[in-house]
Amino acid sequence: MTLGVEFDDPGLAARVDASVQRAEEGLTEAVRSSDGFLDEAAGHLMHAGGKRFRPLLVALAAELGDPSHPDVTTAAVVVELTHLATLYHDDVMDEAPLRRGAPSANARWDNSLAILVGDYLFARASDLVADLGPEAVRIQARTFSRLVRGQIRETIGPVGDEDPLEHYLDVVADKTGSLIATSARLGAKMSGASAEHERIVTEFGERIGVAFQLADDIIDVASETDDSGKTPGTDLREGVPTLPTLFAQRSTDPADADLLRHLSGPIDDDAVVEDVLAQLRRHPALGQARDYVRTQAEAARAALDGLPDSVGRTALQSICTTLTDRVG
């Protein structure tokens, strides 16, 4: 078992574990600073843990070429630094008090410092990606553009007659899918994989990245534990739209009037949150959300058909299996 994904090949599992560990060491070095405060603040969320899914995907995509190439580790550090930077900014936008069970940077210090630390991590990622060549710099810049565009669109919300569900899916693609796609792309590119294989894993990364985010949406409703790293119902309490709630809001059944009223904004009563969760768990919308995620996972699996039969391809397919198991 590696980062929640099972691998049948012990050699692959050992290589991936070693690759992710090298990335972890690289992250520690990248955020280290002679400034005591900056060193503490930049390492705050990194030391709080996380799935390290992006370095994992870099390592798996690198199996299509030479996974031991040192640029693979640099790529893994770049994408994880970029991800960590977005978390600092997200917590400011969301006014989140906690991140990964620890006080968020904006709660521990303040919003201005959290934004600046996020900027610092983006700068460190940019410095490192320059070592990977101009094409990698271009990929990183375009990914950053999508990350910012997704945050802007999320902040503004649907405009005019834009469908809220389609708007949300576009935001998830930009905010989550883009960086996971880049993780797979850089892993393949830095390992010396072919351009066609790079294209295939990029498409896979985009699809599986979106599906993983949407799976967390389902877990926030369906789970009675903190499987997603946060208390179930957190999104309901904050009035954050998610895949199950957006499907539910498409309902025209008069019996759903009370549910739809509660889904129209934040809920500050714990008893009401529990009642709404119970209603959503029985609602057809939860099944629709599960079906949508399964469809995305299967589309990601199908995208891999152009890869040669190998332990790397099998491992990427196993991510799809892990995802469908998560949503039940």
CATH class of the region 212-328: mainly alpha
Whether residue 120 contacts residue 38, with contact meaning beta carbons closer than 8 Å, is answered with: yes
More confident residue, 228 or 132: 132
Whether residue 312 contacts residue 233, with contact meaning beta carbons closer than 8 Å, is answered with: no
Whole-model pTM? Answer: 0.90
- pLDDT tens by residue, 269-304: 899 999 999 999 999 999 999 999 999 999 999 999
- pLDDT tens by residue, 121-177: 899 999 999 999 999 999 999 999 999 999 999 989 999 999 999 999 999 999 999
Homologous superfamily of 8-193 in CATH? Farnesyl Diphosphate Synthase (1.10.600.10)
pLDDT of residue 2: 45
- pLDDT tens by residue, 176-210: 999 999 999 999 999 999 999 999 999 999 999 99
Q: Which residue has the tokens 């949406």?
A: 217
More confident residue, 300 or 220: 300
More confident residue, 108 or 147: 147
pLDDT of residue 274: 94
CB-side neighbour CA atoms (13 Å) of 219:
18
pLDDT of residue 7: 79
- Delimiting residues of CATH 1.10.600.10 domain(s) in the chain: 8-193, 212-328
The beta strands (E) that lie in the chain are given as 98-99, 102-103
In this model, does residue 1 exceed pLDDT 60? Answer: no
Q: Return the minimum-mean-pLDDT range out of 225-234, 236-245, 250-259.
A: 225-234
Residue 98 β-bridge partners: 103
